[in-house]
């Protein structure tokens, strides 16, 4: 685990250092390209011009696509560095938050930052300073977010209010206070130019190199804290009660996790806004859960998904400038989640569908083999012969249909599965089938497992005889070898040395039921 954490620290550090180089490269502004001014006649654009009232979205040119993907533009490099680092940090912290089952906490924190931003602006204006100072506003947001978390903890500790209700109460009160303060700010002489509404909806395009560096270094610090407390956070997320009994400071760890959430929320206000920053914390972590069951791998995947979401949103907003960057970044994260939901290697929809299809084919194959074996028993009783000898002969398909109440289409589908696995041969011309050598062994094994469960349910689980066949049919397909051995030992006195026990639903023993 220590080696895994070390590798993970190196990967995250190299990634963030690479983003730092992007910020350094972005420090030199590009030489602006001077284009010919458009001509206007009667309010209509001339050649090469466009009306300022045009709100349509046009497809970008090839040159613009190339410049965007190669990060040739100054603003694109700045926003790319800041937003990608934010997405990586959000996915990292959000994974622990999601596993701790505190997803709504990030939404509450983001809404609690609004009154802090407004109060910080008012305090700065009251002392004659500029209220648009980014460090001052982010400091106010951090203080307000921490106060919101303290309020939630106080409600939980001193009242019987549930966690979700406490989060909703604090969220609504703080956000309502923030909106009221914004109305007051707008009535001030400098209120309209404050631009505080950008912290609600986000404005990544207004990010500067200093803002990007702040996000980058903050993300690196958060990554180092998560790496240092990896073991503690892992124990807290998966078994907090055990951690408490072992003497771990679970309350302090919870506060640390909340502080990390506040930090990610604060640094993400300018990029995506307080309304959407919760998506940067939860969506990458939720998407990563579809790819791995291991926490270390999940953290790396969540970091990558968050960074990829930021990158995709920046590229899309650069190609289509009229689209809001914050919303596009979140939509890119949703696309990553949708891809993970469908194609995830551990919990993805496609993998689950393939597994269900494989299990269904396995169940169908077992039904066919057991049906052939039970046909041999049925014929053996009627002819007073050993049913095992009848397994060497061919079976009339019509008799299988009549004995099991199957349709011809279902039998054909089952036979195709058996032929594909080499368990049975199918004579289509004469409408007959015959088990192979391997198919005979499988038929005995499948029937044996089914009979063991039937016998157990009948004699030890007090299940009615008319229900044991259906109940055993639901269990036998997931039976483990060790469970079969235990059942054989448990039922040895009743069935003796029978390789395939007799059918409990039949009143008498089948001739030849004991196989040598």
Q: What is the C-alpha to C-alpha distance for residues 269 and 374, in angstroms, rounded to an integer?
A: 69
Q: CB under 8 Å to 201, separation ≥6 — which residues?
A: 273, 275, 276, 324, 326
Entry field: residues in the chain: 516
* Residue 509 clears pLDDT 50, i.e. is over it: no
Share of the chain above pLDDT 90, in %: 9
Average pLDDT over residues 291-308: 90
Tens of pLDDT, residue by residue over 214-254, are 888 888 888 889 888 888 899 888 888 888 888 888 888 88
Most confident of 172-176, 240-244, 476-480: 172-176
- Secondary structure letter of residue 434 according to DSSP: E
79-93, 252-266, 426-440, 485-499: range with lowest mean pLDDT:
485-499
Residues 424-453, mean pLDDT to the nearest whole number:
83
At 58-71, the pLDDT tens digits run: 777 888 888 878 77
Question: Which pLDDT band, with edges at 50, 70 and 90, does 77 fall under?
Answer: confident
Using an 8 Å Cβ cutoff, are 505 and 469 in contact? yes
pLDDT at 178 over 80: yes
Read off the pLDDT band of 32 (50, 70, 90). Answer: very low
Q: What are the b/e assignments for 263-273, b being 16+ CB within 10 Å?
A: bbbbbbbbbbb
If one compares 395 and 351, the residue with the highest pLDDT of the two is 351
H-only helix segments in 127-275:
134-158, 163-186, 198-201, 209-228, 230-238, 240-245, 250-267, 269-272
Residue 483 or 62, more confident: 62
% of the chain beyond a pLDDT of 70: 76
Residues in contact with 301: Cβ distance below 8 Å, sequence separation at least 6, in sequence order? 287, 288, 291, 292
Contact call for residues 417 and 361 (beta carbons, < 8 A): yes
Q: Which of 150-159, 295-304, 461-470 has the lowest mean pLDDT?
A: 461-470
Is residue 287's pLDDT more than 90?
yes
Q: Can you give the three-state secondary structure of 456-499, one letter per residue? A: HHHHCCCCCHHHHHHHHHHHHHHCCHHHHHHHHHHCHHHHCCCC
Q: What is the DSSP string of 336-375?
A: HHHHHHHH-TTT-HHHHHHHHHHHHHHHHHHHHHHHHHHH
Does domain 2-28+60-282 bear CATH number 3.20.20.370? no
Confidence of residue 173 (pLDDT cuts 50, 70, 90): very high
For 92, the token pair is 């990292």
pLDDT in tens, 187-224: 877 655 556 777 777 777 778 888 888 888 888 888 88
Calculate the average pLDDT of the chain.
Answer: 78
Across the range 466-473, mean pLDDT stands at 69
In this structure, of 222-226, 395-399, 506-510, the range with the lowest mean pLDDT score is 506-510
Domain coordinates in residue numbering, the chain: 2-28+60-282, 354-495
Residue 492: its pLDDT value, please? 60
pLDDT score recorded for residue 291: 92
Pick the CATH number of 354-495 from 3.40.1010.10, 3.50.50.60, 1.10.10.10, 3.30.565.10: 1.10.10.10
The pLDDT of residue 72: 79
């Amino acid at each position: 685990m220590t080696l895994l954490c070390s590798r993970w620290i190196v990967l995250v550090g190299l990634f963030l250092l690479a983003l730092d180089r992007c910020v350094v490269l972005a420090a030199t502004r590009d030489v602006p390209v001077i284009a010919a001014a458009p001509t206007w006649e009667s309010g209509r654009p001339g050649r090469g011009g466009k009306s300022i009232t045009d709100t349509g979205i046009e497809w970008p040119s090839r040159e613009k696509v190339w410049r965007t993907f190669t990060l040739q533009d100054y603003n694109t490099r700045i926003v790319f560095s800041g937003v990608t680092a934010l997405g990586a940090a959000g996915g990292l912290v959000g994974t622990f938050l999601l596993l701790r089952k505190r997803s709504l906490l990030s939404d509450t924190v983001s809404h609690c930052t609004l009154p802090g931003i407004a109060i910080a602006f008012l305090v700065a204006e009251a002392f004659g300073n500029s209220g648009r100072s980014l460090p001052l506003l982010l400091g106010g947001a951090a203080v307000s977010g921490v106060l919101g978390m303290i309020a939630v903890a106080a409600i939980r500790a001193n009242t019987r209010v549930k966690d979700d209700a406490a989060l909703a109460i604090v969220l609504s009160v703080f956000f309502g206070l923030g909106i009221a303060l914004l109305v007051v700010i707008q009535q001030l002489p400098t209120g309209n130019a404050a631009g505080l509404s950008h912290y609600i909806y986000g404005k990544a395009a207004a990010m500067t190199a200093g803002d990007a560096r702040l996000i980058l270094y903050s993300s690196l610090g958060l990554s180092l804290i998560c790496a240092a407390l990896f073991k503690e956070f892992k124990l807290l997320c998966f078994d907090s009660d055990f951690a408490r009994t072992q003497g771990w400071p679970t309350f302090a760890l919870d506060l640390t996790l909340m502080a990390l959430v506040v930090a990610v929320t604060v640094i993400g206000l300018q990029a995506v806004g307080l309304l959407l920053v919760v998506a940067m914390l939860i969506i990458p972590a939720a998407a990563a859960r579809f790819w791995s069951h291991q926490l270390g791998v999940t953290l790396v995947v969540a970091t990558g998904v968050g960074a990829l979401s930021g990158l995709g949103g920046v590229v899309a907003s650069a190609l289509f400038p009229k689209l809001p960057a914050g919303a596009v970044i979140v939509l890119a994260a949703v696309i990553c989640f949708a891809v993970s939901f469908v194609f995830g290697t551990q919990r993805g929809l496609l993998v689950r569908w393939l597994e269900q299809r494989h299990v269904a084919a396995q169940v169908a194959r077992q039904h066919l083999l057991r049906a052939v074996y039970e046909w041999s028993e049925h014929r053996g009783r009627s002819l007073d012969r050993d049913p095992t000898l009848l397994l060497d002969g061919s079976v009339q398909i019509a008799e299988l249909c009549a004995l099991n109440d199957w349709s011809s289409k279902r039998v054909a589908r089952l036979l195709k599965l058996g032929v594909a696995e080499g368990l049975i041969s199918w004579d289509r011309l004469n409408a007959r089938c015959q088990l192979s050598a391997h198919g005979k062994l499988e038929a005995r094994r499948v029937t044996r497992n089914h009979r063991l469960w039937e016998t157990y349910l009948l004699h030890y689980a007090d299940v009615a005889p008319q229900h044991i066949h259906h109940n055993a049919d639901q269990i036998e397909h997931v039976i483990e070898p060790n469970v079969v051995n235990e059942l054989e030992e448990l039922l040895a006195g009743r069935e003796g040395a029978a390789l395939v026990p007799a059918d409990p639903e039949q009143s008498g023993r089948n001739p030849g039921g004991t196989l040598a």
